[in-house]
Structure 1
Amino acid sequence: MSSHFMIWNAQGIANTTTQGTFKNMIDMYSILFAAVLEPQTDPQPSFFNRRFGLQFRCSNTNGKIWIFSHRDWQVEVIDDSEQVLHVRVSAAIFPFSIYLSVVYAKCSREGRYDLWNKLRDISLATDGAPWLVGGDFNIFLLEEERQGSTTDRHGEMMDFADAVADCQLLDPGFDGPPFTWTRSGLWERLDRVFLGEHWTTVHLDEEWAPIPFGWERYYDDPEMLQFHKRSTVHLISLPRDFNKFKSIHMYDIVVKNRNEFEVRDT
């Protein structure tokens, strides 16, 4: 999908420099959903709405997770706790609601026990629905995700790995530097994103994204979804099985909807 999501550990968003950096990222990457971790200030919805161009939607119970989104998106808080803010997101460009759990984990192993159990509970509640989990987990999964220390953290890593397995979460990989946090010669990958297993089994239906852009169902095929826009010769063909969705399909949608998407050469 063309929608862009961002989760950023700002470590304080009250100063103008950090606000400017955040606004630049929103503009540069066409962000429509943004979560801020560790804002270290009180929410000021009217100010931040103007500053960032996104609507402040909610914060978690201890104020360490904030969520912003595009003004036309609906964000509903489903579960609010100290280490995770779980929301349901609905927008016209989505064929279905999606669930997002934004994480800001505690630093101690014992403190994260509640987080792992909360994610297990959320996993059961969202079973069968598209689910994205991301944020700062304050622990890494693999030894190669750390550099500059030999402290034994195997038990903490296993806690994390067990929670990921129990929730049937998938790591989609990443682009960029291998580490997300550093201090005094220690480098670790603490921030990451997971997808719920059911992302791989999502099937497209009549509510798929071209519909809001003026496209109509064109031909009934058990394997494909086809859409046609009146007064044009354009036709979009998509696989019903999301597992078979490829970049060429997204390219087709974007190029034939240039007024709704920003098309860039890469």
Structure 2
Amino acid sequence: MLVMMNWLIWNCRGAGKKNFVSFVKDCTRIYNLGFVAILEPRIGNFRADQVIKRLGFECVVKADPVGYSGGIWCCWKPSVISIRVINVSRHCIHLHVDPNNQGGWFMSIIYAHPQESLRLSLWEELKSYKNQLQGPWCAAGDFNSISCESEKQGGSPANRAAINRFKDCLDYCELADLGAKGPPFTWQRGELLERLDRVVANPLWRSIFSSASVTNLTLPPSDHCGLWLRMNLSNQASP
């Protein structure tokens, strides 16, 4: 029997908005989501806990924002998927996913700092993590980076040095872009469009989930597209 696993990774640009909870609940129902990662919620502590509780997910791990900057929430249904938290840092949550007790795989949910000089520590974190793990690995989220000049339209010329540093990190970690259906750019501000959000994975993960797909969803409350990641569990096996 084929079982499809549906994940949403989304920079919502603020989870304190009036209709945020109902909007996420609608997405959960429409896309049959078992896991939702919320990036840049812009609220923390007690207020964040109140909003998260209303989303209806039994399991949650979060990296609180610093003021209004950053933040990651990972929410999932244990009846759908088994997840163990490995590490939480300001810009990344590392998870181990084992849906059917066959060895599982690693998942990193990313929110990279919008300032390029402050992203470098995240690139180093991912390189260090790569040296420690063995097995299938996927990373998804808002990398706040483009991997080539064609992923930017409008605004000032692309920063070639920043592109190279991002590509060097992905190459070192053996993380290749899964591509995406839908809009080619995932973020827009006025006439400036960029592909900042993506899903990448190492060769072992891609061989196991060879039919995995990503769709960029236009979700109007935010200026970022959500990443709808679909994986067929019948393909998942022990590495």
Alignment TM-score, normalising by the size of structure 2: 0.78
Deviation, 1:15, is 2.4
1:77 to 78, 85, 106: 85
Change (3 A) 1:172 1:116: same
> Aligned equivalents of 1:121 and 1:197: distance in 2?
18
Q: Provide Cα deviations, 1:137-191, integer angstroms capped at 9, x if missing partner.
A: 1111111111012424000000110001000012111010011111121000100
Q: CA 1:15–1:61 in structure 2 vs 1: closer, same or farther (change >3 Å)?
A: closer
Q: Which runs of 4+ in 1 moved over 6 A?
A: none
Contact 1:45 1:56 survives alignment (8 Å): no
Given candidates 197, 201, 204, the residue that maps to 1:198 is 204
Q: Is the 8 A contact 1:26 1:52 kept in 2?
A: no
SS of the residue aligned with 2:15?
coil
Residue 48 (str. 1) matches residue 56 (str. 2): no
* Structure of greater relative contact order (alpha carbons < 8 Å, 6+ residues apart): 2
Corresponding residue of 1:58: 61
Deviations 1:1-26 (CA, angstroms, capped at 9, x unpaired): 51111101011112231222211111
Output the aligned Cα RMSD.
Answer: 2.5
- Matching residue of 2:20: 18
| Structure-2 separation of matches of 1:170 and 1:16 | 37
In structure 2, relative to structure 1, the CA distance for the partners of 1:59 and 1:119 (3 Å cut) is: same
- Which letter does structure 1 place at the counterpart of 2:28? I
Q: CA deviation at 1:47?
A: 5.3
**Separation of aligned partners in 1, 2:4 and 2:102:** 13
Once the two structures are TM-superposed, the CA of residue 89 in structure 1 deviates from its matched residue by 2.1
Quick one: distance in 1 between partners of 2:59 and 2:169?
30
Whether 1:164 and 2:170 are equivalent positions in the alignment is yes
Task: Select which of 130, 140, 157 maps to 1:151.
Answer: 157
Whole-Å Cα distance in 2 between the matches of residues 246 and 16 of structure 1?
Answer: 33
Q: Is the 8 A contact 1:57 1:75 kept in 2?
A: no
How far does residue 246 in structure 1 lie from its aligned partner after superposition? 10
Matching residue's letter, 2:93: L
Contact 1:132 1:195 in 2 (8 A): yes
Gaps of 5+ in 1: 203-241, 254-266
The yes-or-no answer on 1:183 pairing with 2:189 is yes
Structure 2 gap ranges (5+): 214-231, 235-239
Q: Tell me how far apart the structure 2 counterparts of residues 200 and 177 of structure 1 sit (CA, whole Å).
A: 23
More deviation, 114-123/192-201: 192-201
Within-5 A mapping of 1:86-235: 86-92=94-100, 95-127=102-134, 129-202=135-208
**TM-score normalised by the chain length of structure 1:** 0.70
Identity %: 29
Q: 2:50 & 2:13 partners in 1: Cα distance?
A: 21
Measure how far apart 1:95 and its partner are: 2.8
State the one-letter code of the partner of 1:117: E
Offset from partner CA, 1:30-53 (integer Å, 9 cap, x none): 11011100111125546534x323
State the Cα deviation string for residues 53-80 of structure 1 (Å, max 9, x = none): 3224211254700000013333322122
Aligned mates of 1:32, 1:56 — CA distance in 2: 11
